[in-house]
Amino acid sequence: MGNLLYGKNSNLNIQKCGVIGCGAVGATSAHTLLGSGLFNEIVLLDINRKKAEGEAMDIGHGAPFVKPVNIYAGDYSDLSDAYLVIITAGANQMPGETRIDLAEKNVKIFKSIIPKIVEYNKDCILLIVSNPVDILTSVALKLSGFEPSRVIGSGTVLDTARFKYLLGEHLGVDSRNVHALIIGEHGDSEVAVYSSANISGVDLDEFCQTCNKCGDRESMHQIYEEVKNSAYEIIERKGATFYAIARVVKRIAQALIRDENAILTVSSLVEGRYGIHGVCLGLPSVVGREGVKWIIDTPLDENEEKQLTESAGKLREVLEGLNI
């Protein structure tokens, strides 16, 4: 693809990305991206330079098995021509700790990271993965001064994938044929959109009546609870989640670079949808090379819309309590 003239005065390499934060999520994301064929240059940054160097070496040793990629540890100046900057840096979520509990710690980290990115690159797309992702997407938007379309959080893309996977397992069908959404906060107030859920076009309720695998909607609610608590369950067992979110990072990067106009439940600034203003949260959005092109007004029933409004309210309350 070569370089892409992106923005008014910037020549960015669309096949170059930076990953800031070389913990489990950052390193696994970089490893996943190495084999994706999307990038020919990946720069890793971490407060611990030796950690970044070690990850670059370890991941890079697999390069002979994939399309050519130059992966190395670098500095913020190395991001000057990067099309995409992925931020995974931040404190880890501890057992029993909610994503919102992480907010104060990680806002401080973002205050040191975002200005350094902007110093060298004002035209890239920021992909926020650190938790609480919706709060930190809002923080990154404010600190960067970027257009809202270019500050994207991983949102509820992972939650939606978990929802599809668990529904598919429950119903005995391929999860790729399950069309269902989780929206709102990537966290405890997230909303399962059952009203439009379907299995290859067959309404979920109707499908359940014919497959004889579901007793009632209550069994569906249990799946939602499992989705919502997945991270807690995984963290309790192995200390962190990183494989599935790395797949999410790759999927969003692919939609951006290939200008797919893919519909993904990423987190971005919401102004006016469902009466919500001034917060970032996950909603079905058209994602292409310029970032979030537009947010889709997905039909919600009365209860779902109420839950979404409450989710936005909880995020707004946290934001108002932060010193940004």
Beta strands 11-20 and 41-45, pairing class? parallel
Interhelix angle 49-60/24-34, nearest 10 degrees: 30
Cα–Cα distance between 51 and 213 in angstroms, integer?
48
Question: How long a stretch of residues is the chain?
Answer: 324
Residue of 83, 137, 167, 166 lying closest to 282 (CA atoms): 137
Give catalytic status of residue 179 as yes or no: no
CA atoms within 13 A on the CB side of 65: 8
- Residue 180 φ then ψ, to 5°: -155, 155
- For residues 11 and 3, the answer to whether their CB atoms sit within 8 Å is yes
- Residue 119 φ then ψ, to 5°: -55, -35
Interhelix angle 103-120/133-144, nearest 10 degrees: 40
DSSP character string of 257-281: HTT--EEE--EEEEESGGG-EEEEE
- The alpha helices in the chain, defined as continuous H runs, are 24-34, 49-60, 103-120, 133-144, 157-171, 204-211, 217-228, 230-238, 243-257, 302-320
- For residues 18 and 47, the answer to whether their CB atoms sit within 8 Å is no
Which residue is catalytic, options 31, 179, 186, 277? 186
Q: Catalytic residue positions? A: 186
